[in-house]
Homo-oligomer: A and B are copies of this chain.
Amino acid sequence: MSQKRIGLQTIHLPSRPAICGSAAFVGKKEGEGPLGDRFDFVTQDELYNQKTFELAEKQLYLDAIRKAIRKGASRPEEVQFLLGGDLLNQIITASFSARDLGIPFIGLYGACSTMAESLALAAMLLDGGHAHQAVCAASSHFCTAERQYRYPLEFGAQRPPTSQWTVTGAGAALLSTQPKSPVLAHITQVCMGRVVDLGISDANNMGAAMAPAAADTLLALFSDTGTAPDDFDLIVTGDLGQVGSDLLHQLMREQRTPLPDEKHADCGLMIFDREKQDVHAGGSGCGCGASVLCAHLLPQMQQGVYRRIIFMATGALMSLTSSQQGESIPGVAHAVVLEGAET
């Protein structure tokens, strides 16, 4: 067995691929939240000067990628892989963006786990010597997701307290083996998740559907590497929201690996002010974790606020068809360990 494989799910990356550029383009509501001044750009409405919400999401995606590449002092022609996805059927946001960029494209679907899935894969490809530079991206859009997964926007459906508000935003990160700009963080380990399903079938309670997968991957990472929550400055989940976060803490306590409150943060709880912004259980969507990571966490790592964190994005893998056929919602969580440049 290669020295890179630790235990069942965790992979060690001796070359420590660097993230050297990141950007997030978000919607108006996200700009009004607590992280509003961190984003690279905040749109003034959900259409972002486009004809359709889908084209608006694609433009956010493209703009975030181009900005991340520019901040990494590179050009699209030098980037060897675009690894990305989104929440829309057939990941049209990512595919149509790839058409405009001309970068060889590896399309992913991991629902809201996409940003961690793409970072983990890109880091392994760079570590393996198969690429020099790769860009990772994920996005979501409240209006495209709501009408695809739930109800027409015009219907104005009432939302239960467990529901989350899909973030309008795209995040992108440039990885390089030979950074030409200051390094934000290194990816030193990745842990790829199994699909876990404890039987939740309520599509308005995705936090609960994803929490068991989050616990499963986190426990695998700790077990494989012999670490514990205290070995990290922060463990950041993608978009469990309040309901999912509470469940994750409960599941971790039951497994005798409690997560101290000060060690855990959830992007879905960071991006909105739940008191003032009426988002119920918090933010969601793969653009949630992606934009909080790319606009807030990575710059904080560069500033030395955190030296070693786990970024773990969780995905709920249902479709409208599977829900209508009575299936429960499988969840998955992928994790990357990020370390500061000076560690």
Contacts and interface: CB of A to CB of B under 8 A. Distances in A.
Interface string A61-87: 000000000000000000011000100
Interface in A287-334: 317-322, 325, 327, 330, 332
A129 B322 contact: no
A286 B125 CA distance: 24
Interface in A174-208: 192-197
Contacts of A3: 129
Given A54-B322, A124-B130, A106 B102 contact: no
Given A89-B321, A90-B319, A109-B108, A195 B99 contact: yes
Contacts of A280: none
Given A11-B130, A104-B194, A131-B5, A319 B109 contact: no
Query: Size class of A's contact patch?
Result: 35 or more
Interface in A106-136: 106-111, 117, 121, 124-125, 127-132
Contact of A318 (B9, B92, B106): B92
A329 to B, nearest CB: 10
A277 interface: no
B319 A5 contact: no
B107 A110 contact: yes
A252 interface: no
Nearest to A132: B1
A196 to B, nearest CB: 7
Given A195-B99, A322-B54, A111 B130 contact: no
Given A96-B322, A130-B124, A318-B92, A193 B104 contact: yes
A90 B111 contact: yes
Given A89-B320, A109-B85, A194-B103, A95 B4 contact: no
A44 interface: no
A49 interface: no
A54 B330 contact: no
Contacts of A107: 108-110, 117, 317, 332
A341 interface: no
A317 B95 contact: yes
Given A107-B109, A117-B107, A2 B321 contact: no
Given A81-B192, A88-B321, A92-B321, 10 more contacts: A2-B129, A2-B130, A54-B321, A92-B319, A92-B322, A95-B195, A99-B330, A105-B192, A106-B117, A127-B130
Interface of A: 1-5, 8-9, 11, 52, 54-55, 80-81, 85, 88-92, 95-96, 98-99, 102-111, 117, 121, 124-125, 127-132, 148, 192-197, 317-322, 325, 327, 330, 332
Closest 7 CB pairs of A and B: A128-B128, A2-B129, A90-B319, A95-B317, A104-B192, A99-B195, A98-B195
23 contacts: A3-B129, A4-B129, A5-B129, A5-B130, A5-B132, A54-B325, A55-B325, A88-B319, A92-B319, A95-B317, A95-B332, A99-B196, A99-B317, A99-B330, A103-B194, A105-B332, A106-B108, A107-B117, A107-B332, A124-B125, A127-B128, A128-B128, A148-B321
